[in-house]
A and B are shown apart, each in its own frame.
Chain A
Amino acid sequence: MRRALWGLAALVAYVAVAVWMPGSPSRPLFDAVGPPQPYKWVNPPPEFASGNQKPESVSHDVVLGPSGSDAASVATGDGQAAIVLREGTFAARSGQKAVVMKIDPLDPAPIGPPPQGLRYDGNAYRFTATYKQSGQDATLTQEATVVLQFPIVATTLLRLDGSTWTDLKANPVSVSLQIFSKTDKLGVFTAAGPPLDTRSPAKKKFPAALAISLGAAVAAVVAGLIARTRARKHRRDAPKEKGRRSS
Chain B
Amino acid sequence: MTVDAGVRTLREDARRAGALALLTACAGCIALAARPPVKGVAFGVTVAAGVAGLLAPAADERKASPLVSCAVTLLGVAAFASVRLAAAVPPAPATRAFVLMAVIAALAEELFFRRFLYGALAGWGAAAAVTGSAIAFALVHIPAYGTAVFPIDLAAGFVLSWQRWATGSWTSSAVSHAAANLMTIL
Contact = CB atoms under 8 A, between A and B. Distances in A.
B89 A27 contact: yes
B135 interface: no
B118 interface: no
A109 interface: no
Interface residues of B, number: 84
B148 A171 contact: yes
A217 B146 contact: no
A55 to B, nearest CB: 14
Contacts of A23: 148
Contacts of B109: 31
A7 B75 contact: yes
Interface in B144-163: 144-146, 148-149, 151-156, 158-159, 162-163
A196 interface: no
A46 to B, nearest CB: 22
Interface residues of A, number: 72
A223 interface: yes
B17 interface: yes
Contacts of A111: none
Interface in A17-40: 17-19, 21-37
B168 to A, nearest CB: 10
Contacts of A28: 80-81, 83-84, 156, 180-181, 183-184
B147 to A, nearest CB: 9
A100 interface: no
A55 B162 CA distance: 43
Contacts, number: 250
Contact of A228 (B6, B48, B55, B89): B55
A63 interface: no
B105 A33 contact: yes
B88 interface: yes
A220 B52 contact: yes
A186 B143 CA distance: 31
Given A7-B75, A245-B6, A25 B87 contact: yes
A10 B49 contact: no
Given A3-B166, A31-B180, A175 B52 contact: no
27 contacts: A3-B166, A6-B165, A7-B75, A7-B162, A7-B163, A10-B155, A21-B151, A27-B152, A27-B184, A30-B145, A31-B141, A73-B90, A75-B90, A82-B89, A173-B146, A173-B149, A176-B92, A213-B36, A213-B41, A213-B45, A214-B31, A214-B41, A217-B44, A217-B52, A220-B49, A223-B20, A230-B13
